Amino acid sequence: MAKYVFGNYLLDVDERRLLRDNGEVRLRGKLFDTLRVLVENAGKLVRKDAFMESVWPDSVVEDNNLDYCISQLRKLLHPEKYIETVPRHGYRFVGDVTAPESHVAATPLGRHVEQPDVQQQPVEFFTTSDGVRIAYSVGGKGPVIVRAIHWLNHLDFEWQTPMRRQWLSEVMRHNTLLRYDQRGSGLSDWNVSDFSFERTIRDFEELVDAAHLEQFSILGGCQGAAVAIAYAVRHPERVSKLIINGAFANGWPAPAPGVQEQMDALMTLIRSGWGRDNPAFRQLWTTLFRPDANAAETAWLNELQRISSSPENAARMIAEFPNIKVLDMLPKISCPSLVLHSRDDGAVPLQEGKLIAARIRGARFVELPSRSHMVSPGDAGWEQFVGEVSAFMGW
């Protein structure tokens, strides 16, 4: 009989049961199959195509089906940290696994496996009014801050990255932080028909209602800043503070000779090359957004783009950027606002940030000494970014 013990768990493959301290943990079909593949190959890298062949042998599915199963297993096996992400390749089961004789199942299971102290994040879901499942995570303590969407995000992949988790954990020392994957990306539904800016705002409205939030601050970068601006104007009584980073307010890119031809070329590149193992097509965006990234961060950003969304979804999201216009809303913002922008941002010019700050009454504008569209740990402007956010939020 095929049985495996890890920590205080027993996985009985023949009976399709997972026991924890001899009590059954119920697993739906694909979750069980995903765990089985990991445990049977403990200590070895299991590539994504191997999961697809074993777990979904007769189906054509997208990577987010596997990502969802991995995320749910991590949540179920918490607080132990058994599943390691190998960027761009797959996953590895890192717990000690034994295959005992059948009589061992009747005895209490043994010790816990020591693993690196990476707290698993809770991931929850809600369904929008047009039937799309949105993944979100809430953690930390204190006044609530909601991070509006990025162009692309992946809750699980982001949390498993030390440099990102360090910053998120710092925020959660002072605030309750809500993050989410926008429709069409990450752990949220990918089979989506509506990527309009108005629908994106409605997703945000329905998200905070689903999470039962009354009043909160919003952190928004790039197009997420426009979502934050629109929400703050529509619901001023619920937004206590607004932090805007690397934002544009009147569509992107700004109209200019040759811009439409450039956009058409970018859409073609995304649709034809985004999902390939070769990161050359995605490297264009990595260089644009984070030109000073080291080799490790460059590889991470390239992989984030690949696993976060399908080529078609990524292109359709960008195609909506010229329609994101909130310039006339800015004077209506009534909450304290902090506007940050990198001095040499190659994606959104510094002038855009200055324009936004000038139109928000009483806003504080900070010019960051950086070339990055969104600064991150290790960037020249990172310490100033953290200091400004800390002071603004009262940490």
- Over residues 383-393, mean pLDDT: 95
CB 202 within 8 A of CB 196: no
Q: Which of 91, 105, 85 is nearest to 19 (CA)?
A: 105
Strands 239-245 and 337-342: parallel
Q: Specify the higher pLDDT residue, 1 or 351.
A: 351
How does pLDDT run across 137-186, given as a tens digit for each residue?
999 999 999 999 977 889 988 888 877 888 898 899 999 999 999 999 99
| pLDDT over 90 percentage in the chain | 49
Predicted confidence (pLDDT) at residue 187 exceeds the cutoff of 60: yes
How does pLDDT run across 361-375, given as a tens digit for each residue?
999 999 999 999 989
pLDDT of amino acid 116: 35
Q: What is the CA radius of gyration of the chain?
A: 22
Domain topology for 124-393 = Rossmann fold (3.40.50)
pLDDT of amino acid 118: 45
pLDDT of amino acid 115: 35
Q: Specify the higher pLDDT residue, 294 or 222.
A: 222
CB 321 within 8 A of CB 252: yes
Write phi, then psi, for 345 (nearest 5 degrees): -60, 120
pLDDT of amino acid 89: 83
Domain positions in the chain are 3-106, 124-393
Q: Which of 246, 244, 221, 222 is nearest to 370 (CA)?
A: 246
Is the peptide bond preceding residue 79 cis, with omega within 30 degrees of 0? yes
Compute the distance between CA of residue 353 and CA of residue 120 in angstroms, rounded to an integer.
Answer: 35
How does pLDDT run across 104-123, given as a tens digit for each residue?
333 333 333 333 344 678 89
Predicted confidence (pLDDT) at residue 229 exceeds the cutoff of 70: yes
pLDDT of amino acid 350: 96
Residue type, 205: E
| pLDDT over 70 percentage in the chain | 93
pLDDT of amino acid 180: 97
* Cα–chain center distance at 290: 17
Q: Specify the higher pLDDT residue, 198 or 33.
A: 198
Q: Which of 30, 40, 111, 39 is nearest to 71 (CA)?
A: 30
Query: How sure is the predictor about 61, in pLDDT bands with cuts at 50, 70 and 90?
Result: low
How does pLDDT run across 263-278, given as a tens digit for each residue?
888 888 888 777 666 7
Predicted confidence (pLDDT) at residue 13 exceeds the cutoff of 80: yes
- Over residues 350-363, mean pLDDT: 97
Predicted confidence (pLDDT) at residue 356 exceeds the cutoff of 80: yes
Q: Which of 169, 2, 7 is nearest to 81 (CA)?
A: 7
- Over residues 289-303, mean pLDDT: 86
Predicted confidence (pLDDT) at residue 324 exceeds the cutoff of 90: yes
pLDDT of amino acid 257: 81
pLDDT averaged over the chain? 87
pLDDT of amino acid 60: 65
Number of C-beta neighbours around residue 394 at 10 A? 10
Rounded to two decimals, the pTM is 0.72
Domain topology for 3-106 = Arc Repressor Mutant, subunit A (1.10.10)
